[in-house]
């Protein structure tokens, strides 16, 4: 592999690879970048990744081009286009923008955004802001509130749509949290990237463009995730924020709508709705929603997965440490070992509501079918119907942020606020 030790970020280089020559400015390494590639910014403004194995020769043309010399495209406002606000929170997708300025924390201005992804200018008048720069595994419930507040402020200032760039690992949790905390008349679209921007196979640009398309064109509000619909670049899917889950660690089409159908898809710049899907009906039926932010969360809530051999200790510990609510991801129709019934009764008696989701992910919890389920119902465990475990967990935080009255908690958990509980779906 060709060594880069004689060259610095910002150097203008001529690189001869096996098949072609390239001239451009050496970009900084993102923490997420693939070691086998280097990224240069060409005169056209585009960044390309070149496989280091393929490089035959590197020549220095000019050393250390200053940041001020980077040519940024100037955003030209067009009053006929909608206004969208792109908010960055970190993750792989953010590194695409970082390459523009060479900074680790870019200013994320409109000029930087359209220079990194020029297609955005065709879609809307974009503005941008970096809220923070975190891998999504480091995002906590307090961060959801910060994101929700910023979205609220941007919509209040007149944004016709919002795009949130987010790491993919915990995107589903954040999407669910924003779904409950925000009542929004305009689309809030979360997107990310599975492959870093120095790879030819990066999905960063297409996901950002398709998310911006939904933010700019969709006439109804709600919180959605827009990500690749299949492994090629042919279309992206619009997932409801409360029913979406990352189901693959690396594929570009990792995100799926679970227990429902997506709202629609983005193909060749057009939004096509799946009009028979409950998700489409739910969100499109909610026109003229008033903008509201309701970001109260009770953070002492636990999501635990049942495993064979689980004993009382875990639940006892949650009771002792004053947890306010528990979601258990049980087996099948919603079961745990009968040995846990006594400790669960103790939790419920201590006013800690216990909710049940299923490890099967698909289908509904139904605790009336088997004796174990009926015993759990009898002690007061509550079924989460067809909610994803992550969604039930986030929703319980939000519900307990409003009330600790057991009946009210049950009633709110079983109310469909953001498309999280499907009626009978056409995929059951
Ligand atoms: N694991 C990190 C995250 O979720 C990086 C990968 C990504 O952006 O998807 O933020």
CA of 229 to the centre of ligand 1 (A): 18
pLDDT of the residue at 287: 67
Closest CA to 89 of 192, 223, 230, 200: 192
H or E element in which residue 373 lies: helix 371-379
H or E element in which residue 171 lies: helix 171-181
How would you label 222-255 residue by residue, b for 16+ Cβ within 10 Å and e otherwise? bbbbbbbbeeeeebbbbbbbbbbbbeeeeebbbb
- DSSP structure class, residue 328: E
pLDDT of the residue at 331: 98
**DSSP string covering 400-427, please?**
HTT---HHHHHHHHTS-SSS-S-SS-TT
Q: Annotated active-site positions, please? A: 92, 168-169, 246
Q: Give the residue whose CA is nearest to atom 5 of ligand 1.
A: 91
Across-strand partners of 413? none
Please report the domains of the chain, with CATH numbers, ordered by start residue. 12-62 (2.30.30.520), 83-293 (3.40.50.1170), 301-413 (3.40.50.40)
- Share of the chain residues as helix, strand and coil, in percent rounded to the nearest 5: 30, 25, 45
Across-strand partners of 87? 129, 164
pLDDT along the chain (428 residues), means of 10: 76 88 79 72 72 89 69 84 93 59 52 81 92 92 98 98 95 98 97 74 86 95 96 93 96 95 96 96 87 97 98 97 98 98 98 98 96 98 97 98 97 97 59
pLDDT of the residue at 117: 84
pLDDT of the residue at 106: 47
Q: Give the residue whose CA is nearest to atom 2 of ligand 1.
A: 135
Atom of ligand 1 nearest to the CA of 90: 10
How many secondary structure helices (H) and strands (E) does the chain include? 12, 21
**Residues whose beta carbon lies within 6 Å of some atom of ligand 1:** 91-92, 135-137, 167-169, 192
pLDDT of the residue at 427: 43
**DSSP string covering 245-302, please?**
EE--SS-TT-EEE-SS--SEEEETTEEEE-TTSHHHHHHHT-TTPPPEE-------EE
């Amino acid at each position: 592999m060709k060594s880069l030790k004689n060259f610095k970020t910002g150097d203008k280089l001529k690189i001869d690879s096996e098949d072609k020559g390239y001239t451009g400015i050496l970009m900084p390494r993102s923490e997420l970048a693939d070691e086998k590639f280097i990224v240069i910014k060409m005169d056209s403004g585009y960044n390309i990744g070149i496989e280091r194995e393929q490089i035959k020769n590197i020549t220095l043309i000019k050393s250390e081009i200053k940041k001020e010399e980077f040519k940024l495209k100037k955003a030209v406002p067009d009053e006929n286009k909608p206004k969208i606000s792109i908010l960055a929170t970190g993750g792989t997708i953010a590194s695409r923008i970082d390459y523009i300025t060479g900074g680790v924390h870019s200013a994320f201005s409109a000029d930087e955004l359209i220079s990194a992804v020029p297609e955005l200018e065709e879609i809307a008048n974009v503005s941008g802001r970096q809220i923070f720069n975190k891998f999504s595994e480091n995002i906590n419930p307090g961060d959801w509130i910060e994101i929700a507040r910023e979205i609220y402020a941007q919509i209040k200032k007149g944004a016709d749509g919002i795009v949130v760039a987010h790491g993919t690992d915990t995107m589903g949790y954040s999407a669910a949290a924003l779904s409950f905390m925000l009542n929004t008349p305009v689309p809030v679209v979360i997107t990310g990237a599975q492959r870093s921007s120095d790879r030819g196979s990066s999905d960063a640009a297409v996901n950002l463009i398709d998310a911006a398309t939904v933010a700019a064109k969709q006439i109804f509000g709600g919180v959605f995730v827009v990500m690749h619909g299949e492994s090629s670049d042919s279309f992206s899917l619009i997932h409801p924020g409360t029913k979406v889950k990352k189901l693959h660690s690396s594929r570009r089409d990792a995100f799926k709508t679970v227990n429902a159908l997506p709202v629609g898809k983005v193909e060749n710049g057009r939004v096509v709705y799946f009009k028979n899907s409950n998700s489409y009906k739910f969100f499109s039926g909610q026109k003229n929603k008033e903008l509201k932010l309701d970001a109260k969360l009770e953070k002492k809530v636990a999501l635990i997965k049942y495993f064979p051999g689980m004993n009382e200790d875990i639940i006892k510990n949650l009771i002792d440490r004053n947890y306010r609510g528990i979601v258990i991801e049980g087996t099948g129709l919603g079961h745990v070992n009968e040995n846990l019934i006594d400790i669960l009764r103790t939790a419920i008696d201590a006013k800690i509501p216990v909710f049940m989701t299923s490890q099967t992910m698909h289908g509904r919890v139904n605790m009336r079918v088997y004796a174990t389920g009926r015993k759990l119902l009898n002690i007061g465990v509550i079924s989460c119907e067809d909610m994803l475990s992550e969604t039930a967990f986030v929703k319980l935080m939000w519900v307990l942020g409003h009330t600790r009255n057991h009946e009210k908690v049950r009633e709110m958990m079983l109310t469909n606020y953001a498309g999280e509980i499907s009626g009978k779906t056409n995929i059951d």
